Amino acid sequence: MIIPYFKEIQHPKFVDYLSFIEAFALFDIAGNTNELKPIILKRLDDNIISKEIMAKRKMLFEKYVSSTDGDATKKHVPLIKKLLTNRIETIY
């Protein structure tokens, strides 16, 4: 994964809007458009990521997105149904 972290977004006023900034060390970061192309080309040639980095990425994914165990649907469908039911009850 390549994160474009260009000069415009590096301003301190945007720090509260940046997601995963604490985990930037786990990804390839392009600081500007000149850095982006070489990073893409490098990853096309060498897409090997260490087991340690991949384990940390997995933990980050599970924290912010979903389990990687393949049970996301089972976990989220009841929650969505509950939210919809509560929303419908609120409308009527």
Residue 35 in domain? yes
Find the domain containing 8 and state its range.
2-48
Per-residue pLDDT, 28: 96
pLDDT one-digit tens code per residue, 26-77: 999 999 999 999 999 999 999 999 999 999 999 998 887 777 777 777 777 8
Residue 19 lies in a domain: yes
Instruction: Give domain status of residue 92, yes or no.
Output: no
| Residue 90 pLDDT | 67
Nearest by Cα to 12 from 21, 3, 4? 21
**Residue 7 covered by a domain:** yes
Residue 92, pLDDT score: 59
- pTM beyond 0.85, yes or no: no
CB 39, CB 2: distance < 8 Å: yes
Domain count, the chain: 1
Report if residue 23 sits inside a domain. yes
